[in-house]
Chain A
């Protein structure tokens, strides 16, 4: 690994100052991607800025409206051990428990998974389905960005020079609503998605009509896709087989996958359909059980 300097600032102001000092900087949260990239010469950073000593980035809490705000450096293990999140946002648990093994989940978190911008990232489909909003900070301002607009291409995110991801805000889904994340890998654990899908459903009070829906599919395009055609196929319909099949068709139509060592393009298109349908069935089950 090339020689680096290491900074552990304790305030956001110090982070912005360090980012403006002219050195090539990389931000460190869990480090499970960054440290490997540095060691393997895939990063030319001169300076590592550790974000784990900054309160705004290492805490998470529900606000009075029931929205969950997660600091960008919070590790997955802290999220999936929290009883309130398990109860209110189980789709976050679906994905947080699948990223790498326990050793990775102790350190890695939503913030780093988003910034790494892998098309096969495990957490983006669920966050898109839940309508998460990113808070992005710089020395001058904090701006908000819907998570689906954060990805520009494989490994490329929308952060500008001097900006950092501060928090991920997951809005309160409200009543008669649930989300589900589903991933296909050829083994049980510890693999990168061949394809994945995150969905959310909101029903009317009688629970016989879909009022709102979001469907996101991953590993089938250069970035995770929010499939608006799938949502259109669901909204206004009765929740069940016909609407879910139509949404699956829309997801399959939206997928533009490549063939690689993990799977063929044809298999990924098929998986987009199947995972979308199954995730919708399971989201519906979550609503019914609540």
Chain B
């Protein structure tokens, strides 16, 4: 059945991108189902778990609570845009070194959310990291390893 689709122009991970979507599709559905960017995960799909965290104009948001059409003229960054080519972002490296993941479903959201924190606040302590990441749920690690990884990345990275 033919469904009305809207053309959207956006900047996705630094590149000008056009896509077609239905107005009812969330940005999460557009990323995963239309653009094949499956790094962004669907957890709760109602704004509670943070698994679908992406950056919209530099601020971290749940892609399940954004309409795809709202991406018009916006800058969107997903987990696929975090590494510099084959060079991992310091957060990604720290998550590996600190074993800050188990099943991995929450990990892209934690890394995107943590990147927004590192980009905006150079001076970080454990309390600030735990407060910032309260909107990202993990049911495997117990969070300690994630917090250690973010602290490590904050200390070693130029946050590029």
Contact = CB atoms under 8 A, between A and B. Distances in A.
A110 to B, nearest CB: 17
A11 B65 CA distance: 24
B148 to A, nearest CB: 19
Contacts of B23: 3-6, 48
User: What does DSSP make chain A's interface, helix, strand, loop or mixed?
Assistant: loop
Nearest to A40: B46
Contacts, number: 91
A100 B135 contact: yes
B72 A8 contact: yes
A63 interface: no
Given A35-B26, A48-B23, A102-B60, A189 B47 contact: no
A36 interface: yes
Nearest to B48: A190
A61 interface: no
Interface of A: 1-6, 8, 28, 30-32, 35-36, 38-40, 48, 50, 52, 75, 77, 100-104, 106-107, 188-190
Contacts of B69: 6, 8
A35 B65 contact: yes
A31 B135 contact: no
Interface of B: 3-4, 6, 22-26, 45-48, 50, 53, 56, 59-62, 64-67, 69-70, 72, 113, 116-117, 131-136
Given A32-B47, A39-B26, A101 B65 contact: no
A104 to B, nearest CB: 6
Given A39-B45, A100-B47, A103-B53, A31 B65 contact: yes
B146 to A, nearest CB: 14
A2 B46 contact: no
Nearest to B53: A103
Given A38-B24, A100-B47, A106 B56 contact: yes
Contact of A101 (B45, B46, B134): B134
Contacts of B117: 102
B108 to A, nearest CB: 13
A50 B65 contact: no
A104 B134 contact: no
Nearest to B56: A106
A217 B143 CA distance: 34
A107 B134 contact: no
Contacts of A75: 59
B135 A103 contact: yes
Contact of A36 (B6, B46, B53, B59): B46
Given A4-B23, A32-B47, A104-B135, 15 more contacts: A2-B24, A31-B66, A36-B46, A40-B46, A50-B67, A50-B70, A102-B113, A102-B134, A102-B135, A103-B65, A103-B113, A103-B135, A104-B65, A107-B65, A190-B48
